[in-house]
Amino acid sequence: MSDNQQHGEQYSLSMMYGTYADILFVLFPFLVMTMQRLWDGNLADILMRPDFSIAAAILAGLAIGKFVLGLVTNRDLGRYKERIVFFIALTLFVVLGPAIILMLSIVGSDDVPGFVAFVQPVLLIIAISLYTTAVSISNILTRQGMSGEAAGGLHGGDGDQAPARHAPLAIPRRSGGDTV
């Protein structure tokens, strides 16, 4: 196994651990609330409360942020824009919208329908899957962008050189007539 391949596998493994650590940190407060409800003997109420929808909405928001990060990381990755925008729309349509509607409906109603007990866990599982996908896509696009630059894709160098540095941000100056 080559050093480069081993480094790539180590990076992927680290990213997987980081992704699931993020998910666990998001779910931790909901675990505490679930344990408190279990302690109080309200086990049946766990799935009828908006907790899973809130967690799904948080993870959907994080997924959208990761998709946008992958979209804006490198300008040369324009061929992936439609795919990333599709995943953003999918996240909004499949998870974030229904999660917000369920939260508002559960909080605003005294009688919660039984299907909520099945829909909320499914939303949470889909949100976890989309967040994991978003992190993977963002990392793939970021690594492709960095490897293209390191190989001289933007600067015309050869692959043996150190990674090229980006030019500093040029901020235009105001004209002489504008004073604040």
Confidence of residue 167 (pLDDT cuts 50, 70, 90): low
121 compared with 160, residue with greater pLDDT = 121
Is residue 21 scored above 70 in pLDDT? yes
Q: Give the whole-angstrom CA distance, residue 91 versus residue 95.
A: 5
- CA–chain centroid gap for 129, Å, is 10
22 compared with 166, residue with greater pLDDT = 22
77 compared with 50, residue with greater pLDDT = 50
SS3 percent helix, strand, coil of the chain, rounded to 5, is: 75, 0, 25
Spell out the domain ranges in the chain: 8-150
Is residue 155 scored above 60 in pLDDT? no
Phi-psi region of 32 (alpha: psi -120 to 50; beta: other; left: phi over 0): alpha
Q: Are 54 and 103 in contact (CB under 8 A)?
A: yes
